[in-house]
Chain A
Amino acid sequence: MSLLEIKNAHLKLDDKNILNGVSLSINSGEVHAIMGPNGSGKSTLSYMLAGREGYELEKGEVLLDEQSISEMSADERARSGLFLAFQYPVELPGVGGMSFLREAVNSRRKFLGEKEFDHLAFVKEARKEASKMFVKDEMLKRAVNVGFSGGEKKRFEILQMAMLKPKVSILDETDSGLDVDALKIVSEGVNAQRNKENAIVVITHYQRLLDYIVPDFVHILSDGVIIKSGGPELALEVEKNGYAGMINAA
């Protein structure tokens, strides 16, 4: 079943054409990797999908669960099951980790018509998931992302993913700034959530992450269009020949 469909997406930023006709179809149970050199439009694509202001499509459309999301605000998309793991997670001074998580989870549950967590039940659930991601209790008491190392920030993003149980997750360069150990923890966290009902889009420009989060499909994004698609072996080809070679051949 089609969970995410991007149809001929065109987007301009400051009068520059960034997305020039991106089309992609993602079905439930699938993991897609989008790779590309710097400036290919990867972050723009993820902000556009998440519904960030200023990143509206000039042309084309996006369907989440077969429903158009162009008119939906960022928070509506999130409540509908879209999740973006930020490349640079934002610091929220003064906003406690636990209450932030609870607000997010309860917003989604309310939307789904599920009962919201009460304080104690939530803390129990959060601690359980947190320990899987090696996120200490003490970290949840602190302000969101404030003073967190790169690895801690990325682990906290994946913890949020685990608690929100989204339909479609977009992981924007989740591997950037991570050492091997952190990479393993983050990848295990992501893999633990793969199931037949959801889909994951992994955006990266290094092949290494894809050794841990093995994709079903790999797409190469260059100058705002997907120039090549294939299986996981495509990632190894990029590793071997670089993007330049692939772009020239396309």
Chain B
Amino acid sequence: MLHNVKDDYVSTIRNHTSQFKKNSFRKLAGNDFKNWPGPLEETWRLSRLGTLSRKKLNPITPNKNKKPNNDLKNIGSVIIKFVDGAYRADLSSKLPSGLSLSILNENQSLEYFSKIKKTNLNNHPSTNVSLSCTPSIVKLMVEKNIHLEEMIEIIYEGGDESLSVHPVLNLELMENSQLSLIERFNHVGSLIMPLQLLEIDNNSSLNSIKIFDDNHKSYNLSANCVFLGENSNFKSFSLIKGGIFTRTETHAYLKGKNAKLNLNGVYISGDKQHHDLTTAIYHDVSDCTSKQIVRGVLGGKSTGVFQGKVRVAPNAQKTDGQQMSKAILLSDTATANAKPELEIYADDVICAHGATVGELDDDQLFYLNSRGISMDQARKILIKAFLQDIINETVDEALHSFIFNEAQLALSSIITKNDMI
């Protein structure tokens, strides 16, 4: 609890919810936002919200006519746009058959609210604030047995200096369906609080890429809840490169046997950026597999955080839960923190975790230099190699060069700074 800080935003949200009916999901959610998480809260200890909590903010009223000019080259064949946190049909593609988009009504929203409230995201600020302030909860559903060929691209953009943005999504893959999704966060200024509930039903499979590239003044507190059914598959790759503070927190509940989960991420941080990848994977049933690979490249005075928790329930035998995080520091003012956590209550499991933080290898750099390759180019080559295996493993081959290019753009600005080691 931040007792000493004037909680302007908390009272702002309190005022905002006063307009809603007593038992509406917005009022219930808004009332649950009592304070920003403080430094004594374990999962926020490494990512303090002090500066954010002192900002004077108001939830944005989405501008239905705003057309942000992002110059983003589209990757997917079906585009869905959220501007200022609101879905914009006028800027989005026609959806292919098998994929539907709807706005949840009050009852459906209450159901969404109660689903998330039963998870460990129940007190996340984005859960409570975004459910209170979102223009609407958007549901994307892939129908049973549909294997969508088209790659769906969701772009979240807009925003404003002193306003907060609240896109809320419910994505459901019904039984036996397949979806490839790429989501891009490209907002300008202040605070973005994306909230997502992903329901991957039995035998279905989701390949997801998230690129966090909000502008250098943005705070992005992305909260994601995932439920995986029997024989389901979720491959997720997050690339964090934008924002002054970006935290993506995912709680994944493996509820059906033989579910497989890859929750991978790369953060590329420079200047004074703070990038945080926080995950919690709950092996609630037996025979599930989870794997997390995280790679960080940090320059300038940036900070990277990886907190990975894996909890294996007493009956979750034959669990395979692996976690590996590696960070490379390019300057001596950058910091990487890794906090792996294993909570294992079953006795027939394979769980492993590892974390390393280091610099680029001097011998390797010299070997490259001795072949006429400049220091900057040598660093780029070694960092590309560092990121290669995680990208090859989680990202579809067709998207490799796109993702490498996105990473390269972020790397170029941190590699050539003078405060290199």
Contacts and interface: CB of A to CB of B under 8 A. Distances in A.
Contacts of B382: 92, 95
Contact of A92 (B362, B377, B385): B385
Contacts of A223: none
B93 to A, nearest CB: 35
19 contacts: A51-B370, A73-B375, A75-B368, A75-B372, A75-B374, A78-B371, A78-B372, A83-B370, A89-B367, A90-B363, A90-B364, A92-B368, A94-B384, A94-B389, A107-B371, A107-B372, A107-B374, A108-B372, A164-B371
Contact of B364 (A78, A79, A92, A108): A92
Contact of B385 (A51, A86, A90, A93): A93
A226 B377 CA distance: 37
Contacts of A48: none
A108 B374 CA distance: 11
Interface string B385-421: 1101100000000000000000000000000000000
Given A73-B375, A75-B375, A90-B363, A95 B381 contact: yes
B5 interface: no
Interface string A47-67: 000111100000000000000
Interface of B: 362-364, 366-375, 377-378, 381-382, 384-386, 388-389
A111 interface: yes
A107 B378 CA distance: 12
Contacts of A50: 370
A144 B284 CA distance: 43
A89 B362 CA distance: 13
A108 B370 CA distance: 11
A187 to B, nearest CB: 22
A103 B377 contact: yes
A111 B325 CA distance: 39
Given A103-B377, A103-B381, A92 B367 contact: yes
A73 B368 CA distance: 12
Interface string A202-232: 0000000000000000000000000000000
A160 B367 CA distance: 12
Contact of B373 (A91, A104, A143): A104
Interface string A81-108: 0011010011111110000100110011
Nearest to A78: B372
B366 A53 contact: yes
Contact of B371 (A73, A91, A104, A111): A104
Nearest to A50: B370
A213 B251 CA distance: 65
B371 A103 contact: yes
Contact of A94 (B362, B377, B388): B388
A78 B370 contact: yes
Interface of A: 50-53, 73-75, 78-79, 83-84, 86, 89-95, 100, 103-104, 107-108, 111, 143, 160, 164
Nearest to B371: A104
Contacts of A111: 372
Contacts of A95: 381-382, 385
Contacts of A53: 362, 366
Contacts of A78: 369-373
B390 to A, nearest CB: 10
A164 B371 CA distance: 8
Contacts of B374: 75, 107
Given A94-B388, A94-B389, A75 B373 contact: yes
Given A75-B374, A90-B364, A94-B388, 18 more contacts: A52-B370, A75-B368, A75-B370, A75-B371, A75-B378, A78-B369, A84-B370, A86-B370, A91-B364, A92-B364, A92-B368, A92-B385, A94-B384, A95-B381, A103-B371, A104-B373, A107-B373, A108-B372
Nearest to A106: B372
Contacts of B389: 94
B372 A94 contact: no
Contacts of A83: 370
B296 to A, nearest CB: 16
A10 to B, nearest CB: 22
Contacts of B385: 92-95, 143
Contact of B369 (A74, A86, A91, A164): A74
Contacts of B377: 103, 107
Nearest to B386: A94
A128 to B, nearest CB: 19
A74 B366 contact: yes
Nearest to A166: B372
B126 to A, nearest CB: 36
A41 B368 CA distance: 23
Contacts of A90: 363-364, 366-367
Contacts of B388: 94
- Most chain A CB atoms below 10 A, which of B364, B371, B378: B371
Nearest to B361: A90
A102 to B, nearest CB: 11
A100 B372 CA distance: 11
Contacts of B381: 95, 100, 103
A53 B378 CA distance: 15
A103 B373 contact: yes
